[in-house]
Amino acid sequence: MMCSEKTVRVGHVCLEVSDIEVAKRFYAPLFDYLGFKIVLDEKESVGWSNDSFAIFLGKPENQRVSKEKPSKEESVIADHLALLLESRNDVEMVAVFMKECRIEALFPLEEHPEFLPGNYSVSYSDPDNNVVEFYST
């Protein structure tokens, strides 16, 4: 017997970071803008939730993950955080917000029908080179 596909959904994601305070300066304004609330704020970890999904950042005692900054030449970034927004307008609003925060897009705001029909996205690189994508379909 199989689970119904409707019973499975992403509950939370945790990203490893090298410096919690630096990561918070990148993520806190963004998650506040998106309507997330802080649910955890400790010395080596922080988390935000919008009541249906949570994102946690953690600094391990011994760093396990180290990523090079994307070259912008990649056609696919295999490991990244992709946040699905309701509309193209929402994606555009995030792009404007990030520009106001002086955060340059890694991959510019544009359509990507090669991924999904109607895919419209913009991506950024955080201080630890984790890629964060915002998209709508």
3-state SS record for the chain: CCCCHHHCCCCEEEEECCCHHHHHHHHHHHHHHCCCEEEEECCCEEEEECCCCEEEEECCCCCCCCCCCCCCCCCCCCCEEEEECCCHHHHHHHHHHHHHCCCCCCEEEEECCCCCCCCEEEEEECCCCCEEEEEEC
CATH of the domain at 101: 3.10.180.10
Work out how many domains the chain is built from and give that number.
2
At residue 126, does pLDDT exceed 70? yes
Tell me if 132 is assigned to some domain: yes
62 vs 1, higher pLDDT: 62
pLDDT digits (tens, 9 = 90+) for 74-90: 766 777 899 999 999 99
Give the global pTM: 0.85
Tell me if 35 is assigned to some domain: yes
